[in-house]
Amino acid sequence: MEIRRLPVTDDALGRFAEELWLPYHRDLAAAVEAHALADRPDEELIAENVAFHRDLLAEEDRRGWVAVDEGWTETDTGDGELPANADLTGFVLTSVDACPDVFDRPDRLVVGDIYVAEPHRGSGLARRLVERAAADAHEAGCSELRLDVDVDNECALAFYEKLGFSAYRKQLTMPANDV
């Protein structure tokens, strides 16, 4: 199993969206009551996701990584595409949360999304994806990792706590019309 940088090309991002991003959000919607995809055809969701991630991952402080079970060899580097026979098994997206100098806290690397496809859960891949994020943190000069997790996602909460993540802030939401 290899973890490689997600190429920022329409073909690679389309495949990422179809094979990993869409299943991730469907799984999350099944586990978390407040998380649901728009009621639109998959093709529209994928196309919008390609445009979104193309712009997002073009930023210097953002990275996308994909885990590949097989089909990606050392010769498959640098061409900006995912090999057609590569089996995509998971992903992690990261970004830097830089702290202004007026505050006494370190820069943090934010784990935006992390997902492991069902057949590979329990294989240690999620831990490897978090380790990849930690490597991003070191490369960016960040001394902490941060992530958000839905309070209803008990499986993810247990996993992150087992890794050593701890709560440092509580986020609250409400409809703006209720104010």
Tens of pLDDT, residue by residue over 101-116, are: 777 777 889 999 999 9
Task: Decide the pairing of beta strands 62-68 and 2-5.
Answer: antiparallel
Tens of pLDDT, residue by residue over 121-146, are: 999 999 999 999 999 999 999 999 99
Closest CA to 80 of 14, 4, 7, 5: 7
Confidence of residue 32 (pLDDT cuts 50, 70, 90): confident
DSSP E strand boundaries for 2-134: 2-5, 62-68, 88-97, 108-116
For the cut 60, the answer to whether the pLDDT of residue 76 exceeds it is: no
pLDDT at 90: 96
Instruction: Tell me what percent of the residues of the chain surpass a pLDDT of 90.
Output: 61
Average pLDDT of the chain is 88
Rounded Cα–Cα distance for residues 95 and 101 (Å): 19
Q: Is 77 exposed, middle or buried (0-12, 13-18, 19+ CB in 10 A)?
A: exposed
For the cut 70, the answer to whether the pLDDT of residue 26 exceeds it is: yes
pTM of the model: 0.87
Domain boundaries, the chain: 2-178
Rounded Cα–Cα distance for residues 55 and 92 (Å): 17
- The third-level CATH classification (topology) of the domain covering 2-178 is Aminopeptidase (3.40.630)
